Amino acid sequence: MYLCLFILCYVLPYYAQPQAKVLSLPLVINTWPFTNATKKGWEVIYTNKGSNLDAVVAGCTECEQQQCDGSVGFGGSPDETGETTLDAMIMDGDTHDVGAVGDLRRVKNAIGVARAVMDHTENTLIVGESATRFAIEMGFKEESLATNSSLAEWKKWKMSNCQPNYWKNVVPDPKTHCGPYTPEHSQLLRDRDFKKPVSRLNHDTIGIIVIDDKGRVAAGTSTNGLTFKIHGRVGDSPIMGAGSYASNEAGAAAATGDGDIMMRFLPSFNAVTMLANGMSVDEAAKRSIQPIIRYYPKFVGAVIVANVSGDYGAACHGLKSFHFSVRVKEMSDVTVVEVPCI
**Candidates 38, 132, 205, 256; catalytic one:** 205
Q: Examine the residue annotation and report whether 47 is marked as an active-site residue of this protein.
A: no
Residue 282: Cβ within 10 Å count = 15
DSSP states of 196-214 as a string? P--STTS---EEEEEE-TT
Cα distance between residue 263 and residue 286, in whole Å:
16
Cα distance between residue 207 and residue 197, in whole Å:
21
**SS3 state at 188:** helix
Helix (H) or strand (E) holding 166: none
Cα distance between residue 150 and residue 70, in whole Å:
9
DSSP states of 1-28 as a string? -HHHHHIIIIIHHHHHSHHHHHHT-SEE
Residue 164: Cβ within 10 Å count = 17
Nearest to 92 by CA among 244, 223, 222: 244
Entry field: residues in the chain: 342
Q: Please, are residues 300 and 319 in contact by the beta-carbon 8 Å criterion?
A: yes
Residue 24: Cβ within 10 Å count = 18
- Active centre residues (catalytic): 205
